[in-house]
Chains A and B, each alone.
Chain A
């Protein structure tokens, strides 16, 4: 199985490019498509209907989107052992992290109108393929300047110019996918580390105040050690993190978690 991650900022043209790539691959490959987003998406349904392939939707919600993606990758791989190519598309990114894994192919869809590429972090600098979209909107000279700037921050990347409307460039991505390596090991590694800080704001603090924040982080971390981290839902919340926030907000009691109660 080949594991391909498409990442890019919202509106960069990821889904359009992915559609053309799926269209080219679907006749000769068994495909699976996973769409990761923060709040809402219908792309999974659309792609399942149009291309008749199996898909799934994952919404990060309260969680940091890259953390969430990394958490879900093993299960997606496990459940799709019969597939030739698994495509994961993710839009939930803060540019501090990247969702790429060393064992798969990382493709960054980069909007040419999005400014100087040096602003981007690992989402661009760790990508194996950089698919530059919307190049038809600007002049030839500025396109060349942009390409040179991308190569300055990521020398190893294969650059492809894509057009989400016409599908131009999709064949180059397909070529990169076909020459990428299969996933052989069960142990997967992120290309780039996640941010280390988990502050009071992560635990849902809204008051902008240093003391409030520290207090919240302190209590939050204690609770984090108590909950099982299974996201089992028995407390009535989607995830342990959501439950912790509710406890800190006074909207839930910590005994609602059966694991804390039985301790």
Chain B
């Protein structure tokens, strides 16, 4: 049975000094993207941890997390087949000596699903929309480049994990089309929380939660101007990818594009 998550609610806890956080509650609805920002050691990962573990005042921060306005059942925290929350790790390394296709089918099995060649093709196709270097089903995952691995894992989280909530902790994002990646992630009406200071990702959100000394100090709404700046940086990133592909293919680059093209 698939559990629908319509909304996640963060109830205030305390900061590193034991002072109560100054907000009533933060509600995150289906389809929303939230950035978590703050300096190193401010407590960004703690917030992700609280949400991942659906803490009930039992973590360091003493925050409580509600799902659909209710206290969640504890069992869903552990079984990967029931897991409501998928987290995209910082690291995208692989260890198993296996083809992309077989790896995805193993992951399907781990998620308690049947082999589905159509879905596997879809995962690879969507990954190829994020990365410049095409991934083929027969490739060995150990031979994928950084960009290819990241693209594959993003598409995997979107299509195989099908958890309604996705947590992303400072994803390494070289070699991928970031806007496209986010688009694929939220397509299915997921809730996405991302720790990032990358302008493309941070401005591609609905809100930014600002953390200092272990506590949430404010919530910023991403405005239109910021979204524009985000698009501009994404354009630069994609232009960079384009040139990289040219260099990789042994081509000469004669002209430079100075102006941002409109978004398609």
Contact = CB atoms under 8 A, between A and B. Distances in A.
Q: Is the A/B pair a real complex?
A: yes
Nearest to B89: A140
A139 B86 contact: no
Interface stretch (B102-110, B182-190, B237-245): B102-110
Contact of B91 (A139, A144, A159, A171): A139
B18 interface: no
B161 A158 contact: no
A148 B83 CA distance: 12
A140 B159 CA distance: 13
B94 interface: yes
Contacts of A142: 94-96, 103, 107
A140 B93 contact: no
A139 B110 CA distance: 14
B68 to A, nearest CB: 24
B78 A143 contact: no
A130 to B, nearest CB: 11
A171 B58 contact: yes
Given A145-B106, A171-B59, A138 B45 contact: no
Interface in A126-149: 135-145, 147-149
B87 to A, nearest CB: 6
A249 interface: no
A159 B75 CA distance: 12
B119 to A, nearest CB: 14
Given A147-B110, A168-B49, A171-B59, A139 B80 contact: no
Which interface residue of A113, A171, A175 has the most chain B CB atoms within 10 A?
Answer: A171
A139 B94 contact: yes
Interface string A57-87: 0000000000000000000000000000000
Contacts, number: 67
B110 A136 contact: no
B160 interface: yes
B59 to A, nearest CB: 6
Given A139-B149, A159-B78, A171-B58, A144 B95 contact: no
A66 B78 CA distance: 31
B192 interface: no
A20 B95 CA distance: 27
Which interface residue of A141, A159, A171 has the most chain B CB atoms within 10 A?
Answer: A141
A136 B95 contact: no
A145 B93 contact: no
B179 interface: no
A28 interface: no
B76 interface: no
Nearest to A145: B110
A262 interface: no
Given A148-B80, A158-B78, A159-B78, A143 B95 contact: no
A142 B95 CA distance: 8
Contact of A143 (B59, B89, B106, B111): B89
A148 B161 contact: no
A101 to B, nearest CB: 24
Contacts of B160: 141
Interface string B45-65: 100010001000011000000
Interface of A: 113, 135-145, 147-149, 158-159, 166, 168, 171-172, 175
Given A138-B95, A143-B89, 13 more contacts: A138-B93, A139-B153, A141-B107, A141-B153, A142-B103, A144-B107, A145-B96, A145-B106, A145-B107, A145-B110, A147-B110, A159-B78, A171-B59
